[in-house]
Amino acid sequence: MIDPEFITDDQQRRDEKIKLGIMGAGSYYLENVLDPDNAIYKKFKENNPNGEYVAGPRLTQEGYTPAGGRGLPMRGWMKTGILAGSKNIDAALRVLDLICSDEYTMIYNYGIEGKHYVKNPDGTVRVIAKPEEMEAFGINLTHIPVVRTTLALSANENLRNAMLNLSKSSVINMTDKYLVPELEYTRELDDYTREQFSKMIIGNVPIDGGFENYIEELNKRGYKELYEALNKAHKEMQQR
Closest CA to 119 of 106, 131, 108, 134: 106
What one-letter code names the amino acid at 140? Answer: N
Residue ranges for the chain with pLDDT beneath 50: 1, 71-75, 144-149, 171-172, 174
Q: Which residues contact 186 (CB under 8 A, 6 or more apart)?
A: 226
Q: Report the run of H or E that residue 18 belongs to, with start and end.
A: helix 11-20
Cα 172–chain centre separation = 13
Dihedral, CA of residue 145, residue 55, residue 155 and residue 18, to nearest 10: 60
What one-letter code names the amino acid at 65? Answer: T
Closest CA to 139 of 131, 149, 148, 147: 131
Domain ranges of the chain: 178-238
Q: What local confidence, expressed as pLDDT, does residue 90 receive?
A: 92
pLDDT tens for 35-69 read: 777 788 889 999 999 988 877 766 666 765 555 55
Which DSSP string do the residues of 35-56 spell out, in sequence order? -TTSHHHHHHHHH-TT----PP
Q: Which residues contact 94 (CB under 8 A, 6 or more apart)?
A: none
Helices vs strands, H then E, count in the chain: 10, 2
User: CB atoms < 10 A from the CB of 137, how many?
Assistant: 15
What span, in angstroms and rounded, lies between the C-alpha atoms of 84 and 17? 46
